[in-house]
Amino acid sequence: MARSENLYGLQQALPTIRKKRQVLVFESDTEALALSEAGFENAVATLGTAITSDQIELLFRDADEIVFCFTGGEAGKKKYYRAMYQALPHAAVGCRLSALQLSEGVEPSSLVGYIGVEGMTSALAGRIAFEHRPTDDPAGSWAFCVGGASLLMIDEQYREMLELNLRAD
């Protein structure tokens, strides 16, 4: 089994992913398991590696939105940038890439312990998202959204920002 081509918990999560058209991606299997047990049955995890193009393609077969849920802080931000950059070429028009922004050192599973399932549901509702929207351009355009509300349209500037943040490592 190639770890870069598989995701922890994907087979168990597929029915919920297909129903919700959304997948929650965590850094570790223990995070995905804890969130799944708390009722977030669309939770999966990378297998000890950064998310890969193969994994993203696999997820977009059954989901229209990928929500990256990484540990808060600078390391988590870098993982978000890498994941978003990796996912951009695979997101068809109508797809959404989202990030659950957490405070320094906070892990998603501990957040559920602190604020409960309802609090986690609220946190996910306020996630930061980039939605691939249809435009006159066949390639579409990207909209920056918070909690489902579009704030602005972005295109190449977003990709350039991601590239700059990746080079800053």
By residue range, what is the domain housing residue 94?
3-167
Which residue in this structure is represented by tokens 């028009």? 93
Q: Which residues, in sequence order, are bridge partners of residue 128? A: 99, 146
Q: What percent of the chain has pLDDT over 70?
A: 75
Tell me the CATH number at 123. Answer: 3.40.1360.10
Q: What percent of the chain has pLDDT over 90?
A: 31
Q: Pick the range with the lowest mean pLDDT from 10-19, 108-117, 146-155.
A: 146-155
pTM: predicted TM-score of the whole model, two decimal places: 0.82
46 and 69 Cβ atoms separated by less than 8 Å = no
Rounded distance between C-alpha atoms, residue 124 and residue 121, angstroms: 5
Q: Pick the range with the lowest mean pLDDT from 53-67, 84-98, 100-114, 153-167.
A: 153-167
If one counts the domains in the chain, the total is: 1
Residue type, position 76, single letter = G
Q: How confident is the model over 99-123, as pLDDT tens digits?
A: 887 888 888 888 888 888 988 888 8
